[in-house]
Amino acid sequence: MINHSRYGAPEFMGYPLKETFLLNCAVGIEDGQNMLYTLQTGRPPVFNVFDIDACRVVRSFPLSEDTHTCWTHKIDAEGNVYFATQATGRLYRYSPISKEVESLGYVLGESALYHICFDEERNVYVGTFPNAKIVKYDVKEKRFYDLGTVIEGEKYAMSMVYYKGFLYVGGNSASTSFYKVNVKSGEKERLKNPSISGVFDETQVRCYYMMTLVEHYLFAHTKLFDGTYVMLVYDLEQGRWLDFVLDKAFGHHVSPKLDGKVYLILEKRVKSFDLATCEIEETGMDYANYIMGGNWVRMKDQEKYPGNTYVTVNYDLGKPVLLNLQKKEVTVLENADFTDQPIEIRAMGTDPDGHIIFGGYMGTHGAVFDVATGDYRIFPIGQIEGMGTCGDKVYFGIYTQAQVHEFDPKLPIDTGNNPRFLRKIGEKQDRPFKVIEAEGKVVISSVPTYGELGGALTIFDPVGDTWAVYRNIVPNHSVISLAYRDGKIYASTCIWGGLGIDPIERDAKIFVFDLAKSQKVAEVTPKFPDFQDHLMHIGDISFGPDGLLWAVSKGFVFAMDPETLEIMKYRNINGYDWTVEGIRLVPICIRWGHDGLMYINANDTMAVFDIHSLDYKIIGGRATHFEIGKDGNLYYTDYSRLYRIDVSNTNEPVPGGKQI
């Protein structure tokens, strides 16, 4: 019973993951100095003004915690730096005169803003998600204008440029579009997607990822149907795509013009593109990363950096990078003094010894936490969506492209080897969420890529090194959570697929997959006598000590007979207000305490639940993820923060609380 346990007040334990993660930048002149402007991803994110020659941050501005990421910075004709955020779609402006950052407001109903551009009057235009709108900020009137959804049936106005009174806008979906929009009248025209004979046709363009305007050319870093990225060029004067493809393009942008050429990353090398002849030439520089904004500068130290140097940022390293043409050298500013920022925790799990593992959102590292010593081991990894153990190994599901990595926590951390990449799941999968062991095999649930419906169940045999991927076991559903018993894999689903597409279904499912037969043998839509609303997402499922299969949907908890899939018990403890627009992919978690009680982050709030009496108690604050440590205590995260709740078996009442 719950009143046999005492729960201490949540104790703040710090930030499990901190790093400098830079996705984009702008470079300009401020008070005669070469300055780089960039927003560090984090909770909160921090806007930095960085003196390139002095290699130091001169000003930093923590922003609101309801934002965390920025893909676009642009400098207007007066030197003001505009940048737009995600999580909450806010537009900000930094003034080089006042030296202050101003929030210009957020766009109602839009959770992400993409690709800033300006017209001749310095008005600002941004694209949005999830309604594929264009929004204008009028700098004289100091207000936003909603120009409406530009790409009907899509979620993203992903990238765009402004040219002579028109916006050229690209989307992001399974069959995306390219539009020309008159900013005065709002009239729009659908233009042809690019096609290259023998390479791809216009139906096979998936995403206009980033765009750069140079003279009358639009350079579009574009994702194709097979997941590859290319750089394509559109002639804005002639209104046509040029008949060639810049293959193996790292992106994201090309440089501004310098002596009639732009520079870009192709095949992990810096190359030039002649704007007059369209010829490509080598520069003699290797660079296995991206041009993520930036500009040409003349460094003060002309002996070390003669002539013109291109300055951008490297997101793998979290540092500014200088590309000097005369010396043919790439220099990473290793001494750049950005302060590492807390990274939002995207995933939590445990290794076979009970150490807690954290994965970060939009980060490049994970951490293993020893609850006994308080020590962290940091290891290199991408964005972990989910993790689980099989034998003595930990398996990570990584976004993007549904990568699977293997980690041996008993061995030293070794970049590229431990953790090590195994393979991509394929089958248009993107986010692997749940990992469990079943008869010595690794079983993984996943969500498809952008603009796609239909998740997958993947089974990997580490001994035989064989993989089997079963997509669309429940058509148009993503596979969210997994449990195993007696030769059968139990799985929950949700109605959403990858971002950028509306769901077709309305009710999440539970299905059963026979491991020996390699096929689905049962499927059910959970229904409840006094509950008529749709359960659109079923999070964690787990077998309880009573033998029932327990599941959670937001704050709604229920149990099923694993043989018949009949609903045996249920209780609403913290709300279940699903809407089609309220996309959720990350599962609510279920964990079992040593005391036989269920612990859940019900609707993202830390709670304990008695599966016999159906009593519950809220015992903590907002909990985006949690685990039970090997010390029996609860560890949960509120975005980037880690908290601990001490759990002790006692008959004493909870101070200030109510026994239930």
pLDDT tens profile 247-275: 888 889 999 999 999 999 999 999 999 99
Question: Residue 329 pairs with which residues in a beta bridge?
Answer: 324
Residue 231's pLDDT band, with cuts at 50, 70 and 90, is very high
At residue 567, the 3 state secondary structure works out as strand
Domain extent, residue 294, equals 75-332
> Which residues neighbour 447 within 8 Å (Cβ) at sequence distance 6 or greater?
429, 430, 431, 433, 455, 478, 479, 480, 496, 497, 498, 585
Structural domains of the chain, count: 1
Q: CA-to-CA distance for 549 and 542, rounded, in angstroms?
A: 6
For the cut 60, the answer to whether the pLDDT of residue 654 exceeds it is: no
Question: Burial of 255 by CB count in 10 Å (0-12 exposed, 13-18 middle, 19+ buried)?
Answer: buried
Is residue 308 in a domain?
yes
Identify the band that residue 653 occupies on the pLDDT scale cut at 50, 70 and 90.
very low
User: What is the reported pLDDT for 660?
Assistant: 27
Residue 586 included in any domain: no
Question: Whole-model pTM above 0.95?
Answer: no
Q: What's the average model confidence in pLDDT over 579-588?
A: 85
- pLDDT reported for residue 606: 95
Does residue 252 have a cis peptide bond before it, meaning omega lies within 30 degrees of 0? yes
Mean pLDDT of the chain: 94
Q: What integer pLDDT is reported at residue 531 of this predicted model?
A: 77
Helix (H, G, I), strand (E, B) or coil at 41: coil
For residue 171, pLDDT beyond 50: yes
- Cα separation values, 379 from 382, 417, 434, Å: 10, 11, 21
Q: What is the pLDDT of residue 656?
A: 30
Q: Considering the domain boundaries, does residue 424 fall inside one?
A: no
Q: Check which CATH number belongs to the domain holding 288 and give it.
A: 2.120.10.80
For 119-153, give one letter per residue: b (16+ CB within 10 A) or e. Answer: beeebbbbbbbbbbbbbbbebeeeebeebebbbee
Q: What is the pLDDT of residue 3?
A: 58
Q: Does pLDDT of 537 surpass 70?
A: yes
Q: Is 368 exposed, middle or buried (0-12, 13-18, 19+ CB in 10 A)?
A: buried
What is the per-residue DSSP string for 128-196? Answer: EESS-EEEEEETTTTEEEEEEESSTT-S---EEEEETTEEEEE-BSTT--EEEEETTT--EEEEPPP-B
Give yes or no for residue 317 having a pLDDT over 70: yes
Spatial CA neighbour of 172 closest among 236, 108, 224, 135: 224
Tokens 């995306």: give the residue.
176
Quickly state the pLDDT bin for 657 (edges 50, 70, 90): very low
pLDDT at 532: 75
pLDDT of residue 5: 60
222 near 232, Cβ under 8 Å?
A: yes
Reading the block at residue 627, the tokens are 């685990």
- Mean pLDDT, rounded, for 565-579: 89
Q: Is 624:604 a contact under the CB 8 Å cutoff?
A: yes
pLDDT band at 649 (very low <50, low <70, confident <90, very high): low
Q: Is residue 633 part of a domain?
A: no
In the chain, the percentage of residues whose pLDDT exceeds 70 is 98
CA distance 507 to 569: 19
Q: In this predicted structure, what is the pLDDT of residue 6?
A: 83
Q: Taking the CB of residue 215, how many other CB atoms lie within 10 A of it?
A: 14
Please indicate, yes or no, if residue 265 is contained in any of the structural domains. yes
pLDDT for residue 594: 86
Calculate mean pLDDT across residues 436-445. Answer: 98
Res 125: pLDDT:
98
Distances (CA, A) of 64 to 73, 174, 589, 623, 626: 17, 33, 27, 19, 24
Instruction: For residue 166, give every residue at least 6 positions away whose Cβ sits within 8 Å of its Cβ, in sequence order, or none.
Output: 180, 181, 182, 183
* In a domain? residue 560: no
Mean pLDDT across 345-366: 96
Task: Give dist(CA 73, CA 64) in Å, integer.
Answer: 17
Higher-pLDDT residue of 379, 228: 379
Residue 142 lies in a domain: yes
What gap in Å lies between CA 133 and CA 147, rounded to an integer?
Answer: 7
- pLDDT higher than threshold 70 for residue 4: no
Does 351 score more than 50 pLDDT? yes
How far is the CA of 137 from the CAs of 144, 162, 303, 590, in angstroms?
A: 4, 14, 43, 45
Q: Could you tell me the pLDDT band of residue 511, with boundaries at 50, 70 and 90?
A: very high
Give the tokens for residue 321.
Answer: 């990078």
Q: What is the reported pLDDT for 311?
A: 98
pLDDT tens per residue across span 145-155:
999 999 999 99
Of the listed ranges 216-220, 350-354, 404-408, 573-577, the one predicted with least confidence: 573-577
Distance of CA 462 to the CA centre of its chain: 28
The pLDDT tens digits for 83-101 are: 999 999 999 999 999 999 9
- Identify the pLDDT of residue 343: 94
Residue 655 has pLDDT above 90, yes or no: no
The answer to whether the CB of 562 falls within 8 A of the CB of 515 is no
Q: How many helices (H) and strands (E) does the chain have?
A: 0, 59
Give the CA diameter of the chain: 82
242 inside domain: yes
Contact yes or no for 579/603 (Cβ under 8 A):
no
